[in-house]
Structure 1
Amino acid sequence: MDLHANAIEVFKTMCSSEIFPNSFTFSSALKAGGNLVSIKQGRCIHACGIKYGVMDEFTNSSLLDKYAQCGVLEDSRKLFDEIGSEEIVSLNTMITAYAQHGQGREALDIYIYYDARAKFGAKPCYFRVSFVCLQSLRTRAGFLDRGKLFIDSMPFEADASIWTIFLAACKLHGNFELAQLARKKLDGILCEDNSTLVLVSKMFSKEGKWDDAEKERNKISSDGMRKEPGLSWVQIAEAFA
């Protein structure tokens, strides 16, 4: 249900009624504001967070993501610099934001400067998130061979998320040979899901391998799966479309 605007209204009512919000409240409000892609609302929520002193690691990360979704990376970076280098969640959010907006140099500069492994003493699960972010960055830029070497040199086994990113990049840049490698790796890691099957089908179609593409599509139909449709909000004046 698309009740993001309602969530924001409830948040406003809480604040005006002197019902003090906590970090969970702020994170939820920022997520709702992010779905509405309203920078004005994001800044208002940010101001409330400062007022109530609720700016912990996960609230900061939600706010960074909010600004990035609205396309104001300058605000994201300003907040990131204010937070400091101790928060690994915020570091990963900032790297991802730069990668999604095609600013690869900035993303790599952050990673290199803060040197996550040395500075944070982070747990392996945190390293995994950083590696996924960097793999996405490399492959989006078309450095597929480097991306493959990057996977091979990681200090842990590549999981489905990393190979799916690599497969999508191979399709995007037309490297069918490496795409087939990624496909085989995914076969050995997880049960096929609809998004992977759709991706593989499109890859075969792009190469003119129509029989193989049809086989992948048939798997989707026979298993009753379908690709989930996307939903986007665009703010026009004071309304959303």
Structure 2
Amino acid sequence: MNARLEAGLPVRRSERLPTGLLDIDLYNGADELDALLGFAARANAKRGFLFLSKVLGKHWPVRPSTMLDVHARLAAGVPDGSGPVLFIAMAETAVGLGQGVFEAWLRANPDRDALFLHTTRYRVGTGPIIEFEEAHSHAPRQFLHMPSSQHEQELLLRAQTIVLVDDEASTGNTFHNLAQACRRLNPAIERVHLAVIANFMGQRATGGLAARFGMPATLGALIDGEYRFEAANIPVDAAPAQRFD
């Protein structure tokens, strides 16, 4: 373990990007940081940086065995509970991650009722949907479509626990927006768990999740820390990527 972590101090990391300076304090998982993620700049006036996961099988070459290990570790962090469990993966980055975590959890809990869904930035058809906001995104509108099968609809409406899966959490706002939208549809939801590779919300925000969500809330992550970003004084000309008119 890193000597600073052993002394109760965060491990500090700075990354100079074309769009600004990203400073990170790491409280857990510092030794895995470079294996799990990197950092990138992006042309987005709302957020000029990106935590770039290396273990999704999406942006970066990765061994399948490494991906399966990540899935199993995140699935093991889901607390025990009763009633059906609804897993929701966040589009687009975490769709495959969420499917893997769901399958790993099912292997460990073969007798439990569970359902996997993922969000999308597209409206498909005319069926019922849940809409919520990912405020920092270039395409902030997200949707969750109702399953087509009656059995899956019943599972969704009976779920008592929701597990929200993403590659990283930086503010928790999108998770909060989705959880509240799901709870309006299904008031029986009584617990939320966030499963992420990297949690950069910081200790205070992480410790206040239950009060913020208005129900018992837990978080499982392979990396824990917080970040600060000082944007460079450069023009960012990026048009919105989402239109429905």
- Look at both structures and tell me which one has the larger radius of gyration over its CA atoms: 1
Q: Which structure shows the higher strand fraction?
A: 2
Same fold (TM over 0.5): no
Q: TM-score, normalising length from structure 2?
A: 0.32
Q: Which structure shows the higher helix fraction?
A: 1
Q: TM-score, normalising length from structure 1?
A: 0.32
Higher normalized contact order (CA 8 Å, seq sep 6+, divided by chain length): 2
